[in-house]
A and B are shown apart, each in its own frame.
Chain A
Amino acid sequence: MEAVSRVELQKMSDEDLMEKFQSGYEQAFNLLVDRYQDRLHNFLYRYTHNHQDCEDLVQETFFRVFRSRHSYERIAKFSTWMYTIAINLAKSLYKKKKRMTKVTIHKDPDDSEDRPMKLEDTDILPDDSLHEKMCMDELEKALMELSEDFREVVVLRDIQQLSYEEIAEIADLPMGTVKSRINRGRAQLQELLESYVYPGTISA
């Protein structure tokens, strides 16, 4: 096996790194993890809205990439292949959670962590940041209210900035459907945002 330095590996495309990994360079896999773990977490968070689930899903995705490395072929971009794995895992988790019985744990009034907010709390944000955070919270809320079909393609396009071809491959949909869903998803999101500002205006 020809030795390759870390610097050389860092200059490689994802697909070249995968080939190196397939030929036995585990360092190439580590670089792929470095490149994608944050992006994958952000992507999965739009999908699950739960950081712990995201952590687990990111770990499981990379584990599957590791285990299935020899099934990867250069026909597909590495990112497309990996996002496909991630989205399938997220869908399975979603289905599993839907089957589970919900249990609510009420707050313990004696919980020492459950204290009133102090005015000098350093977590209080200045006005602009607070406004920005509120806008982002509303955006995230609206995104989570979209149906899964629309949310998936909108996140892949507008958050992950994937091409329509990649999205069609990941979602396993014809290109026309992908584009139509993206447009409808965006329009519905805007309707939801407007309904937060002017309640009662949303159309059926």
Chain B
Amino acid sequence: MKPTAFDSDTVLTEFLTDYLDGELSTAERESFEEYLSKNKDEREFMRKAYKGKKALARLAKHMNDKTSVTA
């Protein structure tokens, strides 16, 4: 995986985490999206992290459904 600014910048990591959790204010979100629009590698990393998070949410749901069926 390509190194990105997220590897070394803790503030950017905080932004990304809150962005994926939907915890940014409108102004913060817009400014972060503007940053992503200008930085291809970081945008690609965000896309993968977002998709990975969604995939894991599906797995968690699948596991919970299985647990509630067998409970």
Q: Any chain A CB within 8 A of the CB of B2?
A: yes
Closest Cβ of chain B to A156, distance in Å, is: 11
Q: In the bound complex, what is the Cα–Cα distance between A38 and B67 (angstroms)?
A: 7
CB contacts under 8 Å to A, within B1-20, are: 1-2, 6-7, 10, 13-14, 16-17, 20
A183 cross-chain contacts in B, Cβ below 8 A: 6, 13, 16-17, 20, 45, 49
B7 cross-chain contacts in A, Cβ below 8 A: 180
Q: Any chain A CB within 8 A of the CB of B58?
A: yes
Band of interface residues on A: 20 to 34
Task: Report whether B53 and A203 are in contact in the complex, using a CB–CB cutoff of 8 Å.
Answer: no
Band of interface residues on B: 20 to 34
B2 cross-chain contacts in A, Cβ below 8 A: 203
Task: Report whether B48 and A190 are in contact in the complex, using a CB–CB cutoff of 8 Å.
Answer: yes
A139 cross-chain contacts in B, Cβ below 8 A: 55-56, 58-59
- Looking at chain A's contact residues, is the secondary structure mostly helix, strand, loop, or mixed? helix
Which one of A132, A161, A184, A186 lies within 8 Å of B60 (CB-CB)? A161
Given contacts A139-B55, A158-B56, A183-B20, contact A191 B13 (CB under 8 A): no
Closest Cβ of chain B to A11, distance in Å, is: 20
Given contacts A180-B6, A183-B13, contact A143 B59 (CB under 8 A): yes
Task: Report whether B53 and A186 are in contact in the complex, using a CB–CB cutoff of 8 Å.
Answer: yes
